Amino acid sequence: MMEELRYTADVECVGTVFRPAGDGPRPVVLVAPAFGGVGPFSKSKAGYIASLGYIGVEVDYYGGGWRTDDRDAASAKMGELQADRPALGARMVAALKAARGLEGADPGRVAAIGFCLGGKAVLDLARSGEPLAGVVPIHGLFDAPEGGSAKMNTSVLALHGWDDPLATPDAVLALSQELNAVCDDWQMLAFGNTGHSFTNPAAQSPEDGMAYSAQADARAFAALEAFLVERFAKTA
């Protein structure tokens, strides 16, 4: 079952809720999209979350349900949001609060996953200090906002393509140092010979370091599923 979810931060945001069959309360997983905004890819992943028996919530961090298939437009919109990290964090916190209030949701068992810019979005949610069962950036962007991070009240699993041009080894090292300082429970799974967008079959630009990898995709989602089972069991 799919339904619209509207919530407000500094702008009105329009997300989508995917529900599994059966009664609640159910754990919830926020799904933050890549830089093109809400759309078929992130909806498919929120639907996949529902197939696991959790409530999947596609998050709108741009506001207004904005989306595009144009890379230049998406890059420009991403640049605007990256220049206003407090707004990104506030919109993610607003999404979290809306998800906790959903009918049939277990407000004590909420996790967040995100792709590309969505990976940064869920890391910024963790950086806010909000309590979460777990946070999973998937081929995410790692740079911390100015002013650093609050103590993270969550577990973090980063799923990373080692050859990702948008998250270089230096960025990985910086994230590991940040997590060591503010996160008591974190892990990273890096896939060799793998670039950015490795879970997206539409990514077909290996010359730019962005290409789908069926092997890395399967391994990443197996790790994600195991992580969610573990974290929701520990927060039950």
Note the pLDDT tens digit of each residue in 9-22.
999 999 999 999 98
Host H or E run for residue 113: strand 105-116
Closest CA to 52 of 215, 219, 198, 227: 227
Task: List residues bridging with 67 in a β-sheet.
Answer: 37
Cis peptide before 25 (omega within 30 of 0): yes
Q: How confident is the model at residue 1 (pLDDT cuts 50, 70, 90)?
A: confident
Region 1-9: mean pLDDT is: 94
CATH 3.90.700.10 fits 2-234, yes or no: no
Q: pTM for the complete prediction? A: 0.97
Q: Which residue has the tokens 């539409």?
A: 202
- Is 168's pLDDT higher than 90? yes
